[in-house]
């Protein structure tokens, strides 16, 4: 139990730390498209992301599947850029959201992010007999951190709507996605 709690705290602090800004940006890029009334769909989407990164986290920690660190670090901002571009497309060419495709895409992007988490965890101390507790604790900490980020962000958007009566959801999507996109491009540029 002690190992679980230790890695739960590490997962929570890792996602809430600005050193993990790339993961934070991805979560925000997903969240910006949803309203507070759609919180259930958004929570499922965040859970799909967690399941994706949990899969590759386990595969990588057990050395079943890994990629070179530099490739992973370049793929992560690309997932953010693709998500922001998709947000722009959905605003300018609204269509019915295919949630099955959206969940699958976020699951796949979660797999990419999980490989980066595994690099973090490989540097951390793992006891072989407590590896499962470490992985489960870390993933639950990440999930809780992501849900905190989503809750705070949705609350901030709701306050913006109350403060600016003429503000439309499309304005929030475009402006937030543009800011996130700039950060993601900067991260990718610095890696090249």
Report CA 85 to chain centroid distance, whole Å: 16
Compute the radius of gyration of the chain from its Cα atoms. 17
Alpha carbon of residue 128 to chain centroid? 28
| The total number of structural domains that make up the chain | 1
pTM of the entire predicted model: 0.90
pLDDT at residue number 130: 74
Residues 106-158 have pLDDT tens digits of: 999 999 998 887 766 666 655 556 777 888 888 899 899 999 999 999 999 88
Which residue, 136, 137, 29, 41, is CA-closest to 76? 29
Q: Which structural domain, as residue segments, surrounds residue 12? A: 2-191
The pLDDT of residue 13 is 87
Contact 60, 69 (CB under 8 A): no
User: Cα separation of 96 and 88, whole Å?
Assistant: 15
Q: Residue 63 — left, alpha, or beta (φ > 0 → left; ψ -120 to 50 → alpha)?
A: left
Residue 107 has what pLDDT? 95
Please report how many Cα atoms fall inside a 13 Å half-sphere around the Cα of residue 6, on the Cβ side.
13
């Amino acid at each position: 139990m002690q190992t679980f709690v230790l890695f739960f705290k590490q997962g929570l602090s890792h996602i809430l730390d600005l050193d993990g800004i790339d993961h934070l940006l991805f979560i925000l890029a997903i969240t910006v498209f949803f309203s507070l009334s759609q919180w259930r769909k958004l929570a499922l989407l965040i859970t799909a992301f967690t399941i994706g990164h949990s899969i590759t986290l386990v595969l990588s920690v057990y050395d079943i599947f890994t990629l070179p660190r530099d490739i992973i670090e370049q793929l992560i901002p690309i997932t953010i850029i693709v998500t922001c571009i998709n947000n722009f497309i959905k605003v300018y060419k609204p269509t019915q959201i295919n949630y099955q495709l959206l969940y699958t895409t976020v699951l796949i992007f979660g797999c990419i992010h999980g490989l980066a988490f595994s690099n973090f965890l490989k540097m951390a101390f793992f006891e072989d007999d407590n590896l499962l507790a470490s992985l489960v604790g870390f993933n639950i900490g990440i999930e809780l951190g992501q849900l905190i980020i989503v809750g705070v962000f949705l609350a901030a958007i709701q306050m913006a709507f109350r403060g600016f009566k003429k503000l439309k959801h499309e304005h929030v999507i475009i402006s937030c996605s543009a800011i996130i996109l700039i950060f993601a491009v900067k991260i990718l540029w610095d890696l090249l």
